[in-house]
Amino acid sequence: MEKRVVFRSAWLPYVLVAPQIAITVIFFFWPAAQAVYYSFLLQDAFGLKSQFVWFQNFVDLLRDTNYLSSFRTTAVFSFLVAASGIAISLLLATMANAVVRGALVYKTLLIWPYAVAPAIAGILWAFLFAPSIGIVTYYLKWIGLDWNWMMHSPQAMLLVVVASTWKQISYNFLFFLAGLQSIPKSLIEAAAIDGAGPFRRFWTIVFPLLSPTTFFLLVINIVYAFFDTFGVIDATTQGGPGNATEILVYKVYYDGVKAADLGGSSAQSVILMFIVISLTVVQFRFVERKVQY
Amino acid sequence: MTRKSLLAALIASAFAATGAQAQTEIQWWHSMGGALGDKVNQLASKFNASQSAYKIVPSYKGSYPESMTAAIAAYRAGNAPHIVQVFEVGTATMMSAKGAIVPVYKLMKDADEPFNPKAYLGPVSGYYTDSKGNMLSFPFNSSTAIFYWNKDAFKKAGLDPDKPPRTWKEFVADAEKLHASGQKCAYTTTWPSWVHIENFSAWHNVPIGTKENGMGGLDTEFKFNTPLHVRHIAMLGDLAKRGMFVYAGRTNQGGAKFTSGECAMMTESTGGQANVRRGAKFDWAVTQIPYWDDVKGAPQNAIIGGASLWVMGGKTNNAYKGVAKFFAFLSRPEIQYEWHRDTGYVPITYAAYDLAKKDGFYQRNPGAEVAVKMLTNKPPTPNSKGLRFGNFVQGRGIIEEELEAVFTGKKDAKTALDEAVKRGNEVLRKFQAANK
């Protein structure tokens, strides 16, 4: 006998999934289609005049050396955000998992930053590290470090990476903690009895068992770094100095929203969309093979 | 009984509501935050109290780019405000949007309200006038870049505190002395493109772009990579490398570095004086921007920054009458003077300037006159009446990016300016294609 629940009605399942499909179509497919459509247009800011220009917007972009260098910036930025975000939250989760007393307090505090909007997180870090008035800047000067990310591009990159990572750590932490708690204690105890130290136990038992979570977070964090970080950048460096922190999604936001160049901005978001789709495909085809479910 | 009285109250309130609607509301979106916003609200309520047919409703919509974006989006969605305050950078974009805007000269003529572009200072009216001499938007808040110096720091460095540098050569010498005296940051700037490219070009009577800085047509091209520009930007890059010039950001972040005493000299808008006055614990003053004295005819005159009021299309004739009445109200010399006195923006009409002089305002505040003097130093030439470049939000962004590459030592001045001109021209061509 079959144990699965089967809908006997022909239409009921479709009705039940309809709201989800509607949301996906209205909020994901429709805007994506619009972006593709606009990427072929040349419009003035008010939308009074509109011309169909085929691939001109794309050609313009690919001829722009600054746009091409923005790819490199994005790669560096995304790698740093994803790698440090995952590493730090894994460390925090492992430690929070080991805490016996007051665990709830630790966990709550660590999850808190996730409720902060990216722009607010950006402002917060921008204030702390402001070249003129920041409190951290003041202490850094005191210990003899010349902190001014307006003059030093690596410092600017560090700032946006720290602000973006901080924002994402809570999310990662939550998943790692859940993952850690689902690992059977008996496995770890058995390894301990066999004489494996804490490090050995972590790398040979805990880490492999966490790999599905890690993989999931890798995908999510890369998508986050690619798409959701423009608020942080806008509130801190605005892509500068020069174009040291101008990542692809920030340029999309800047050209589309601030400079009212919808065609150019749409062409960029179409390119970005393809990059993220292919990155995700690559991750599922190659990285996922190393994952043990 | 209770039900009856409730009904009566409902009917009464319904009548009250229609009564209020007989007064035409005029939406005004602006970007004047803080103390400036209070002043805007004051102006609106003053106008509202002066008559009963119209009610100006000011709303703060965020920074300049934000309120411009909001107005464009609202226009696309069919519910634009009547009046929107747009910064000088957005002028070309607004001007090209025929149909989306109502030119101010036409608005005033249709409503039979007096309006004379000649009443405004040359660089003010020039900025907002089309090639036929018609004023398209209503000048509201104008400023210009001036030079600030810390007198105490000058004294400490053995310099005459009452002798600020008049030329860029003297400026470099002063910066070196200040630096040697232990003043690590000798100089900082705000608004790098506005001060060191746009105003710099006008001040030396050289073009920023062809076709009268874009005022003569959409087929304009940037020209700010001349040897003079390269020399100036290279000088700044050199000072940055030697640690004397500390760059602080694309807007007014540099102000904090001067006010705290960290930097001894600064170029900043006239509008920055209020903050320095409030925060500085040292003796300071303002004067005109230095110039290169080997350039013939320099200094010419400065150009303005700030914003003007644009009237959006698609509203009722009655509402436009109200807008015209409001503009006539704002044009009154006493209102203009009050705005100048309380905000630190320059007086934009000759009448307001005279009123301020008569009132003794400049004897009490010598710094307040520097900007007017810079703007009216000489009659404006095609190089110095202003600029009109399409999509200049992007264009200025490109200039600032390239300047930052010089300040951070990544590029030399020539490479950066050539690149800025090349990339900027692509933006201009795109704007031209979209608006032909």
Per-residue pLDDT tens for B369-386?
Answer: 999 999 999 999 999 989
From the list A66, A242, A257, the residue facing B423 with the nearest CB is A66
Identify whether the C-beta of residue B236 lies closer than 8 Å to the C-beta of residue B248.
Answer: no
Residues of chain A in contact with residue B76, where contact means CB-CB under 8 angstroms, are 46-47
So what's the pLDDT on residue B180?
Answer: 95
Q: Which one of B312, B404, B415 makes the best mutation probe of the A interface by having the most chain A beta carbons within 10 Å?
A: B404
Distances (CA, A) of B98 to A256, B102, B302: 21, 8, 29
From the list B249, B401, B410, the residue facing A150 with the nearest CB is B249
So what's the pLDDT on residue A20?
Answer: 94
So what's the pLDDT on residue B65?
Answer: 84
Q: How many CB pairs under 8 A join A and B?
A: 105
Q: How far A143 CA lies from chain B's nearest CA (Å)?
A: 16
From the list B96, B393, B401, the residue facing A240 with the nearest CB is B401
Residues of chain B in contact with residue A264, where contact means CB-CB under 8 angstroms, are 430
Identify whether the C-beta of residue B299 lies closer than 8 Å to the C-beta of residue B146.
Answer: no
- The DSSP annotation for B239-265 comes to HHHTTSB----SSSTHHHHHHTTSEEE
Residues of chain A in contact with residue B435, where contact means CB-CB under 8 angstroms, are 44, 49
Beta pairing partners, B102: B311
Residues of chain A in contact with residue B426, where contact means CB-CB under 8 angstroms, are 60, 64
So what's the pLDDT on residue B278?
Answer: 84
Mean pLDDT to the nearest integer, B271-288: 90
Select the more confidently predicted residue: B413 or A186.
B413
Select the more confidently predicted residue: B264 or A152.
B264
Identify whether the C-beta of residue A248 lies closer than 8 Å to the C-beta of residue A268.
Answer: yes
Task: Judge if pTM exceeds 0.90.
Answer: no
Are the Cβ atoms of A258 and B65 closer than 8 angstroms?
A: yes
Band of residue B7 on the pLDDT scale cut at 50, 70, 90: low
Band of residue B1 on the pLDDT scale cut at 50, 70, 90: very low
So what's the pLDDT on residue A292?
Answer: 67
So what's the pLDDT on residue B362?
Answer: 92
The structure tokens 């505040």 sit at: B365
Work out the number of other CB atoms within 10 angstroms of the CB of residue B27: 19
So what's the pLDDT on residue B2?
Answer: 53
φ, ψ for residue B222 (rounded to 5)? Answer: -70, 145
Q: What is the pLDDT of residues B330-349, one digit of tens each?
A: 999 999 999 998 888 899 89
All structural domains of chain B:
23-143+304-366 (3.40.190.10), 145-301+390-434 (3.40.190.10)
The structure tokens 């040897």 sit at: B227
Identify whether the C-beta of residue B62 lies closer than 8 Å to the C-beta of residue B31.
Answer: yes
Are the Cβ atoms of B426 and A64 closer than 8 angstroms?
A: yes
Are the Cβ atoms of A264 and B430 closer than 8 angstroms?
A: yes
Statement: residue B17 has pLDDT above 50: no
Residues of chain B in contact with residue A254, where contact means CB-CB under 8 angstroms, are 397
First to last CA, chain A: 28
From the list A44, A246, A264, the residue facing B435 with the nearest CB is A44
Are the Cβ atoms of B393 and A258 closer than 8 angstroms?
A: yes
Residues of chain A in contact with residue B65, where contact means CB-CB under 8 angstroms, are 258
Select the more confidently predicted residue: A200 or B153.
B153
φ/ψ region of B434 (left if φ > 0, alpha if ψ in -120 to 50, else beta) reads alpha
So what's the pLDDT on residue B54?
Answer: 95
* Tens of each residue's pLDDT in chain A, 293 residues: 556 777 788 888 889 999 999 999 999 999 999 999 999 999 888 888 888 989 999 998 998 888 989 999 999 999 999 999 999 999 999 888 887 788 888 888 888 888 888 778 888 888 898 877 788 888 888 888 888 888 888 999 999 999 999 988 999 999 999 999 888 888 888 988 988 888 888 888 899 899 889 988 998 999 899 988 888 898 888 888 888 999 999 999 988 888 888 899 999 999 999 998 898 888 888 777 777 66
So what's the pLDDT on residue A2?
Answer: 54
From the list A49, A238, A260, the residue facing B93 with the nearest CB is A260
Work out the number of other CB atoms within 10 angstroms of the CB of residue B278: 8
Residues of chain B in contact with residue A48, where contact means CB-CB under 8 angstroms, are 97-100
Statement: residue B420 has pLDDT above 80: yes
So what's the pLDDT on residue B9?
Answer: 53
Q: What is the pLDDT of residues B388-404, one digit of tens each?
A: 999 898 899 999 999 99
3-class DSSP assignment, residue B267? strand
Are the Cβ atoms of B426 and A243 closer than 8 angstroms?
A: no
Q: How far A57 CA lies from chain B's nearest CA (Å)?
A: 10
Statement: residue B19 has pLDDT above 70: no
Using a CB–CB cutoff of 8 Å, tell me whether B61 touches chain A.
no
Q: Which one of B242, B389, B394 makes the best mutation probe of the A interface by having the most chain A beta carbons within 10 Å?
A: B394
Q: How far B270 CA lies from chain A's nearest CA (Å)?
A: 20
Cα gap B72→B97, rounded to integer Å: 10
Identify whether the C-beta of residue B257 lies closer than 8 Å to the C-beta of residue B188.
Answer: yes
Are the Cβ atoms of B426 and A150 closer than 8 angstroms?
A: no
So what's the pLDDT on residue A130?
Answer: 84
Token pair of A205, please? Answer: 């038992």
Q: What is the pLDDT of residues B88-124, one digit of tens each?
A: 889 998 988 888 999 999 999 999 998 988 899 888 9
Using a CB–CB cutoff of 8 Å, tell me whether B69 touches chain A.
yes
From the list A45, A130, A153, the residue facing B408 with the nearest CB is A153
**Range in A266-275, B3-12, B179-188 the model is least confident about:** B3-12
Are the Cβ atoms of A150 and B434 closer than 8 angstroms?
A: no
